[in-house]
Structure 1
């Protein structure tokens, strides 16, 4: 997935009101950028961190800048939570996720369950069963090499897992796919101390037949590309 260009480097002053971030650019300008991340951004919204923003030039938008990347240590981490669905769309089309190949049709945002929409519904091709794929963005890493989700309580996330359990019990494939938007992790685990209910729901879903996948990404200032699977630890 290509990132907006050009990206302008700077330092994060603060992130506030969920969708706003004050940034001092290297050229001296002090700007307020849109932050496309409604979550807590634990571990990535660090004041003084090296960041990259895009001046998009869209006059219809209230803010002229959007915050795209932050550097944590030596690792660049995209902050936009809409990226993973775009990354997975490209990955499905290019067939780089072996577990999800063999389908002839990829539909997005299909209604299912109780008022929910699945991120991707895969069907047709040589696969006999349709496959429901829920995608989650992961950026949290509090311990070296460990990616975690969620970074705060997510009742919505737990609801999605229950919906996937129902899909699996009905005979279709149900997949929970975590996309780690960073390249410095080797394994994944639920952040049970931050949201014990979600951690419990994830274990329940796995026991009920929901398939769990986790992939990391290669990140540059030009693009974010799905890279390799990570180990998943539920205990």
Structure 2
């Protein structure tokens, strides 16, 4: 996924009212950027950390700037939760995710379950429908280990229950964790943060839900799919 224009380097100051974040550009000017991430953003909101912003030319937008990346030394972290679906859709179309190749049709935001929408529905006359739920991952508290979630997510637990029902009905259900950082080789569920989500995750595994964990290649120009990383389980 290419950014519409090269990102602008800044210094993060603070995040507030959930969707707002202040940054200082290299010319010294202070700008307010939209923060799409509604999670706790553990470990990525330290004052003074390098941030990367995109700027919109849309005159209807209240905030022209959007917060896209955080950089700590050589570690780059994607924090915009609007991007993972775009990244995965592009990767599927280009057959870059081996588990999700050779489907004729791709649909986004399709209603299913109880008042839910699946991120991506893949269909083919010769295959079972494939329901793909995507989660953005930016948390890492252990060396080379990415974790999800970074806060309690009742919505996320609901998605796992819905996927379990899809799998039990005989269709294909996939939970895809996109690790938007370049320093992790493993992924695990942050059970200490959300025990209910962890319970539903392991229930989903038992129900036949497939889990795919992939990292990303991040820069100020683009974010692209990387490679599969290992899932660590506690059971």
Shorter chain as denominator, the TM-score bin is over 0.9
1:119 aligns to 2:112 (yes or no): no
Q: CA RMSD of the aligned region, Å?
A: 1.1
TM-score, length-scaled by structure 2: 0.97
Aligned to 2:91: 91
Map 1:52-131 onto structure 2 (within 5 A).
Answer: 52-124=52-124, 126=126, 128-131=127-130
1:36 aligns to 2:33 (yes or no): no
Aligned to 1:157: 156
1:11 aligns to 2:14 (yes or no): no
Shift of 1:129: 1.1
Aligned to 1:24: 24
Aligned to 1:195: 194
Q: Are the counterparts in 2 of residues 105 and 125 from structure 1 also a CA contact under 8 Å?
A: no
Aligned to 1:133: 132
Query: Per the alignment, in what secondary structure is the counterpart of residue 119 of structure 1?
Result: strand
TM-score, length-scaled by structure 1: 0.97
Alpha-carbon distance between aligned partners in 2 of 1:94 and 1:15, rounded to the nearest angstrom: 36
Q: Summarize deviations over 1:168-196 as a string: whole Å, max 9, x none.
A: 00000100000001111001000011111
Q: Summarize deviations over 1:118-157 as a string: whole Å, max 9, x none.
A: 111111154x211110000000011110000000000000
Alpha-carbon distance between aligned partners in 2 of 1:85 and 1:234, rounded to the nearest angstrom: 25
Q: Are the counterparts in 2 of residues 149 and 189 from structure 1 also a CA contact under 8 Å?
A: yes
User: Which consecutive unaligned segments of at least 5 residues does structure 1 have?
Assistant: none
Using a 3 Å threshold, how does the CA distance of structure 1 residues 35 and 4 change in structure 2: closer, same or farther? farther
Shift of 1:69: 1.1
Shift of 1:6: 3.2
Q: Which runs of 4+ in 1 moved over 6 A?
A: none
Shift of 1:57: 2.9
1:174 aligns to 2:170 (yes or no): no
Q: Summarize deviations over 1:77-99 as a string: whole Å, max 9, x none.
A: 12110110000000110001111
